[in-house]
Amino acid sequence: MAHLGSTLTTLAIAALTLGATIATAPPAAAARTVVTAQRLLNDAGCDAGAADGAYGTRSKAAVTKFQAANRLAQTATLDAATWSRLEATTKVRCDRRPVPASSGSGRRIVLSRTQNYVWLVRDDGTVRWQGGVIDNPSVWRAGTYRTGSACGRAAHILNNSDYSKTLWLQHYTRVQTGLCGVGFHRVPIHKSDGTQIHPDWYLGTNLKESHGCIRVSDRTSREIWDFSQSAVKVVVLS
């Protein structure tokens, strides 16, 4: 009986040990599916839309934004490097990014063409606002500029019109680039029906291209408008 008791005690200890091992085992990693990627992208503020497993243009745009924020090649594909960063505990969110160190100091608007992104930076270095953009680097060069009037045209126009006269460019803030018609504005709106020419989720990607201006969301256009009521430096990084 003593031997049997010893055996039972040994089995009980083994069972407890096994139970402890099972309880503390790390959870299995989520499968690398489109749905998993969409959920991770949404958690990182990349606006992938519904996690429905369909890898359409919106999901590709979200991947591109994530890749831009995390200094990865902007391929719009779920490659190994992108998966690795998505699954990491430390990654840069699409909607909260550090201001590029090479942008200088002081009160300024910083535009990164590599990241397709803009920051409004206060005198003390804190960020008032940030968001994605669509622009066209081939029209004017990177460099340092200022907001303000140009070519006899106002620095700010609430409802500017494009050259075709069919689109509204709302909350237009002009940038003095040496060209007359360059500025920040909301994604153009059709005068005929009030719809945008493309959704906001394209902003922050290289999947669209402007005619030279910097397209931003409605909120960002208003923030830039308010921030630049006194002329402000615009630092454009390639």
**CATH of residue 177:** 2.40.440.10
In a domain, 46, yes or no: yes
Q: Average of pLDDT values for 119-127?
A: 98
The alpha helices in the chain, defined as continuous H runs, are 2-24, 34-43, 57-69, 80-87, 218-227
Between 3 and 112, whose confidence is greater?
A: 112
Closest by CA position to 118, among listed 64, 68, 168, 169: 68
Q: pLDDT digit string (tens) for 163-218?
A: 999 999 999 999 999 999 999 999 999 999 999 999 999 999 999 999 999 999 99
Q: pLDDT digit string (tens) for 21-51?
A: 334 444 556 899 999 999 999 999 999 999 9
Using CA atoms, how far apart are residues 136 and 116, in angstroms rounded to an integer?
A: 10
Using CA atoms, how far apart are residues 179 and 172, in angstroms rounded to an integer?
A: 15
pTM: 0.87
The parent domain of residue 63 ranges over 34-87
Beta pairing partners, 189: 168, 196
Q: Are residues 133 and 45 in the same domain?
A: no
| Residue 229 CB-density burial (10 A; 0-12 exposed, 13-18 middle, 19+ buried) | exposed
Q: Are residues 111 and 223 in the same domain?
A: yes
